[in-house]
Amino acid sequence: MSLMRQVAWLLLAVVLAALVGAVGLSTLSAQRLMHTQLELKNADNAQALALALSQQRGDADLIQLLVSAQFDTGAYEFVRWRDAKGRTLFERVGAPRAGEAPGWFRELVPMDVAPGVAQLSNGWNAIGVVELKSHSTYAHDALWRASRLLLAWLLGVGIVAAVAAWAGLRRIRRPLDAAVEQAEGVLAGRFGQVVEPRVPELQRLTRAMNAMVQRVKDMFEAQASQLLVLREQVYLDPQTGVMTRKHFLAELDAALQRDEGPVVAGLVMVRLHDLHGLNLRLGRRAVDDALQTLAAALKAYPSSVAGCRAGRLNGSDFALWLPAEGVAAETAQALADALRAGLPAFGAGVQVALGAVELPRERSSSVWLGEADAALARAEHEAQVSGSSSVVQVVATAGPGREQGEGLWRAQLQQAVAQRRGRLVEFAVRDRGGRLLHLECPLQLQLDADVLPAAAWLPLAVRARMTASIDLLAVSLALQAIAADGQARCINIAPASLVDATFLPQLRDLAANLPQAARGLLLDLAESAAAEHFDRLQELGRQLRPLGVKLGLEHAGAGLAQVERLYQAGLDYVKLDASVLLGVAGEAGRVAFVRGMVIMLRSLALKVYGEGVVDEMDAQALWDCELDGLTGPWVTASGAQ
């Protein structure tokens, strides 16, 4: 039983005890008073009647007449005349009277009053006694009415007191509930502050809770800052501030495997010619400044365009990944113009070659790098001949079906959604013991005769603003599958769907129509959604979490520590990106970074999963970092075995 309920019951018991005691004492006092009054009345009336009868000189007829007259004028149970030997000479007895008071009340407060007795005389001779007893029914009725009136009054006072006590308890309970909610919020990763109440004792409690929550929040923010520093040490080249080769290649592989993004993308490679010779001619410091200038030109793109990645492949080679179609050559030309203006300031003979390629994203990273390197070699040859920067663009054949045009793609997507021509592909997410946690289910759509993965149709759906309807189809298919076998399933939600005003109400209705299946539904959103659509992400969690739907971020990496108010996002889990986890078994810095991410996310009460695990050694290192689950080719292969 809660403390407030115990206090409420205690107050109720005290009020009832006071009520019963007050009514009981008042009734007993009134009963004793009426009992005494009846005894005095009986005695006085008996003396008065005896005096009147004694004056009749023993005339029996007159005595009987006076006894009858006395009986008729009062409420008596009986009036009798006895002779000196105790024999009844004359008696009048009244009929029993029911009265208003119930029988149990009469038994509870009895009125057993002694009759009044007086001597009769004829001169100096005693001629008997007269006895009379008044009815106690009237006294019981008066006592019953008084008791009811007193009880009603005290009940009214008690109700008013109970309401006042309830209001007081509610006022006291409000800051206690706020403290409990604040403590539960800390467990859920929310660090809210509570207004201090006026009650001194509760004020001290609230002040202590606020201080504790602020300290936990400060610890979380300090942890996030440390992760940013560790990220720079592990993933960034210390000289130029762009990604290291290993991390850039991991990011490239992860980008090529993701569903979102255009079908065709671009890669620009930049090389500072004759790095060793420049060091000898210009000195290391001047060359370092030139490299930093080159890197600064590259870093301008990731800071302004979402999804761009810049990295240093070796001492003189840099690369820029462009998740967009038709911009590689333009970007390379812009970089060349900027470098032509800035690099000559470091000395004569500073030359840069740039190569740009555009390829379908289904090609492997080795093909991308090979094509870009070939373009770079040709650009470098021209730079050596001309003595200036040059650009060579190599454009590969676009992916199949691009010639159809957006109108036809839109019609095919609308038809596929209307006819529900979609299926979910299932990939397992398992814990350390091999138990299946849930299934990741990317959607494939049938367009004409082809069943295409999301990488083929998602960029077009984003252009056509159809991601919301397609995501609702995926959720509907997942809910039906969960209802059929009870296995939890995870669906990817496009960030563009959050912007659609009709998406959330329809999504909530889908989940509400299948409440049991909704408890097994997980929704993934990209890490960018937490930064770009934070308020909509919060609203999504507020409306879906009461239905049992779990919400999380996928492809989470180093940028997660930069998401403001991550502790207020209302998430249930985070999936770390493959680019963060690749090669974690062979590098202590990566292990430290992943472990720091896990500690930070666990402090927010979030589950942590790993994506795209391909190597058993990496998997073991991630288990040692205490991740809750893994997915990827290695998990699929080990689960099949």
- Rounded Cα distance between 69 and 110, Å, is 29
Pairing of strands 427-430, 436-440: antiparallel
Confidence of residue 177 (pLDDT cuts 50, 70, 90): confident
CA 182 to each of CA 171, 193, 207, 599: distance values in angstroms, whole numbers, following the listed order? 17, 7, 12, 21
User: Taking 80 as the threshold, does the pLDDT of residue 508 lie above it?
Assistant: yes
pLDDT of amino acid 384: 62
Q: Say whether 133 sits in a helix, a strand or coil.
A: strand
Query: How far, in Å, are 70, 246, 338, 395 from residue 355 at the CA level?
Result: 135, 21, 15, 11
Does 367 score more than 90 pLDDT?
Answer: no
The arithmetic mean of pLDDT across residues 502-524, rounded, is 93
Q: Could you tell me if 456 and 263 are in contact, meaning their C-beta atoms sit under 8 angstroms apart?
A: yes
Most confident range (mean pLDDT) of 21-35, 40-54, 502-516, 583-597 is 502-516
Task: Band the pLDDT of 345: cuts 50, 70, 90.
Answer: low
pLDDT(401) > 50: no
* Cβ atoms of 206 and 194 closer than 8 Å: yes
User: Which of 47-51, 104-108, 341-345 has the weakest average pLDDT?
Assistant: 341-345
d(CA 302, CA 287): 24
Angle at 260 between CA 254 and CA 264, to 5 degrees: 85
Q: How far is CA 3 from the centre of its chain?
A: 25
HEC string of 218-286?
Answer: HHHHHHHHHHHHHHHHHHECCCCCCECHHHHHHHHHHHHHCCCCCCEEEEEEEEECCHHHHHHHHCHHH
Asked if 322 and 256 touch (Cβ cutoff 8 Å), the reply is no
399 has a pLDDT exceeding 50: no
Q: What percent of the chain has pLDDT over 70?
A: 88
Beta bridge partners of 523: 491, 551
User: Using one digit for the tens of pLDDT, what is the confidence trace for 306-328?
Assistant: 778 899 998 888 999 888 888 88
Q: CA quadruple 394, 398, 403, 404: dihedral positive or negative?
A: negative
Number of CB atoms found within 10 A of residue 349's CB: 13
Q: What is the pLDDT of residue 383?
A: 60
Place of tokens 């492997």: 364
The encoded tokens of residue 278 equal 């420049």
Number of helices and strands in the chain (H, E): 22, 20
Region 98-111: what's the mean pLDDT? 81
Q: Is the pLDDT of residue 42 over 50?
A: yes
Class of domain 3-159: alpha beta
Are the CB atoms for 585 and 615 separated by under 8 Å? yes
| Coil, helix or strand at residue 66 | helix
Tokens 């009461």, located at residue: 546
Using only C-alpha atoms, what is the Rg of the chain?
48
The average pLDDT across 39-47 equals: 87
Average pLDDT over residues 402-431: 82
Q: What is the pLDDT of residue 222?
A: 72
Give CA–CA dist 437/631, Å, rounded.
10
| Residue type (1 letter), 102 | P
CA distance 245 to 256: 16
Domain residue spans in the chain? 3-159, 241-395, 404-640
Mean pLDDT over 598-626 rounds to: 89
pLDDT computed for residue 484 by the predictor: 93
pLDDT recorded at residue 402: 45
Decide if domain 241-395 falls under CATH 3.30.70.270: yes
Cβ atoms of residues 51 and 95 within 8 Å: no
pLDDT for the residue numbered 611: 92
DSSP one-letter string for 89-119: EEEEEPPP---SS-HHHHHHS---PPPEEEE
Average pLDDT (288-301) is 87
pLDDT at residue 394 in the model:
45
Paired with 445 in beta bridges are 422, 452
Closest by CA to 269, choosing from 355, 364, 395, is 355
pLDDT value for 311: 92
pLDDT of residue 489: 95
Q: Comparing C-alpha atoms, which of 540, 563, 536 is closest to residue 220?
A: 563
* Interatomic CA distance for residues 381 and 371, integer angstroms: 16
**Banded model confidence at residue 400, pLDDT cuts 50, 70, 90:** very low
Give the pLDDT mean for 260-289.
Answer: 82
Report the pLDDT value the prediction gives residue 389, as an integer from 0 to 100: 47
Convert 317-337 to b/e letters by CB count within 10 Å (16 or more is b). Answer: bbbbbbbbbebbbebbebbbe
CB 245 within 8 A of CB 313: yes
- Cα distance between residue 220 and residue 319, in whole Å: 34
User: pTM for the full model?
Assistant: 0.64
Element housing 156 (H / E): helix 137-187
- DSSP one-letter string for 322-364: E-SSS-HHHHHHHHHHHHHHHGGGG-TT--EEEEEEEEETTS-
Tell me which of 365 and 203 has the higher pLDDT.
365
The CA distance from 10 to 444, in Å, is 64
For the segment 193-231, what is each residue's pLDDT rounded down to a tens digit?
777 776 676 677 777 777 777 777 777 677 767 777 777
**Measured distance CA(427)–CA(436) in Å, rounded:** 10
Average pLDDT on 337-351 reads 74
Do the beta carbons of residue 140 and residue 38 sit within 8 Å? no
For the chain, give the mean pLDDT: 81
d(CA 251, CA 372) in angstroms, rounded, equals: 17
Of 485, 555, 494, the closest CA to residue 520 belongs to 485
Q: How many residues does the chain have?
A: 641
Listed in order, strand segments (DSSP E) in 101-206 are 116-122, 125-134
**Answer CATH for 404-640 from 3.50.50.60, 3.20.20.450, 3.90.190.10, 3.40.190.10:** 3.20.20.450
| pLDDT score of 511 more than 90 | yes
- Report percent pLDDT > 90 for the chain: 17
Q: What is the pLDDT of residue 552?
A: 92
pLDDT band, very low/low/confident/very high, at 184 (cuts 50, 70, 90): low
- How much is the pLDDT for 469? 93
**pLDDT tens sequence across 559-600:** 665 555 676 777 899 999 888 888 888 788 888 888 888 888
Q: Is the predicted pLDDT of residue 50 greater than 90, yes or no?
A: no
Instruction: Please answer whether residues 550 and 540 qualify as being in contact, where contact means their C-beta atoms are separated by less than 8 angstroms.
Output: no
In the Cβ-directed half-sphere of 302, how many Cα atoms lie within 13 Å? 17
